[in-house]
Amino acid sequence: MTMQIADSVSLPAPDAKARAHAAAARDSLRTEPKAVRITIIALAMTFLTVFVVLPLVVVFAQALSKGVIAYLTALAEPEALAAIRLTLLVAAISVGLNLVFGLVAAWAIAKFDFKGKTFLITLIDLPFSVSPVISGLVFVLLFGAQGYFGSWLREHDIQILFAVPGIALATTFVTFPFVARALIPLMQEQGTQEEEAAISLGASGLQTFFRVTLPNIKWGVLYGVLLCNARAMGEFGAVSVVSGHIRGETNTMPLLVEILYNEYQFVAAFAIASLLAMLALITLIAKTVLERHLNEGHEPRDH
């Protein structure tokens, strides 16, 4: 009995040891000496701290450098409130437009086969690779005083540049791909079977879309809207070109940051900037949560 126990204990022991050895040997084929590992981790963390963490911290430190009251006073300025209102308005317009476009485009691209699909997706992606300044410039060339539609607009007394429509247009241009790009791969992956079943059971196209497709892609829609909104509220270059910087009227939050900063009103500039930084942080947290939801849908979670 005791022998048996001793046997059963001692016998697998070298076996386990050998296996552990083999596993360690296999692992050592796939990793580096400890000193190298530590150096690489330290390099990565230092780089990210210097280039990403510190700039974020600086925003809040500068905003609060004269105390909480100065910070809140800066945010309560009429000019600040006007900029916040305009930013919310412009974001609502361009996110709304791009949400509808994104759903429509994703339906056409993901649910049907046709020639030139890759090319069409490349065209939708174009704004990602156009400089923000050029995104603004194209609208100045169309609607500016010397632009193609400039004289016509003036005759009919329609103001596009240096007004809300121009800002909304430039923002829509810049944020154009976000919703569509979030939805196309998701809807392609989900295929068309459920929709076909609904149609063959007599549902109309719109019913199928709202009752079958939309519930399946709701997290993807939120994801696209989230990223689209973050960019819409934060856009600077394109909006700067078309806005005309009319104080209290055509200044969005990022533009007001620039104006206040150039006037050496650092607390006020960084106070507005801190709101935008918070928007970015909330967006990132929400994005992480949404990515978890999106991954649950189709992938076995392996990490």
Residues 84-103 that bind another protein (CB under 8 A): 101
Q: What is the rounded distance in angstroms from the CA atom of residue 169 to the CA atom of residue 148? A: 16
133 contacts another protein (rule: CB under 8 A): yes
131 contacts another protein (rule: CB under 8 A): yes
Segment 277 to 296, residues that bind another protein, using CB under 8 A: 277, 279-281, 283-285, 287-288
Q: What is the rounded distance in angstroms from the CA atom of residue 23 to the CA atom of residue 25? A: 5
Which of 11, 47, 76, 214 forms a contact with another protein (CB under 8 A)? 47
Q: What is the rounded distance in angstroms from the CA atom of residue 80 to the CA atom of residue 73? A: 10
165 contacts another protein (rule: CB under 8 A): no
Least distance from another protein to the Cβ atom of residue 264, Å: 12
52 contacts another protein (rule: CB under 8 A): yes
What separation in angstroms does the CA of 1 have from each of 4, 5, 244, 276? 5, 6, 93, 73
Q: What is the rounded distance in angstroms from the CA atom of residue 42 to the CA atom of residue 34? A: 12
258 contacts another protein (rule: CB under 8 A): yes
**What residue type is assigned to position 152 of the chain?**
W
Q: Which is nearer to another protein, 74 or 109 (CB)?
A: 109
40 contacts another protein (rule: CB under 8 A): yes
Q: What is the rounded distance in angstroms from the CA atom of residue 125 to the CA atom of residue 175? A: 10
18 contacts another protein (rule: CB under 8 A): no
- HSE-CB at 67 with a 13 A cutoff on CA atoms is 3
Residues in the interface with another protein (CB under 8 A) total 99
**Which residues, in sequence order, are CB contacts of 187 under 8 Å at separation 6+?**
106, 107, 110, 111, 213, 217, 220
Least distance from another protein to the Cβ atom of residue 18, Å: 16
Which of 20, 85, 122, 210 forms a contact with another protein (CB under 8 A)? 122
**Which residues, in sequence order, are CB contacts of 115 under 8 Å at separation 6+?**
none
Segment 215 to 254, residues that bind another protein, using CB under 8 A: 230, 233-237, 240-241, 253-254
Q: Which is nearer to another protein, 11 or 43 (CB)?
A: 43
264 contacts another protein (rule: CB under 8 A): no
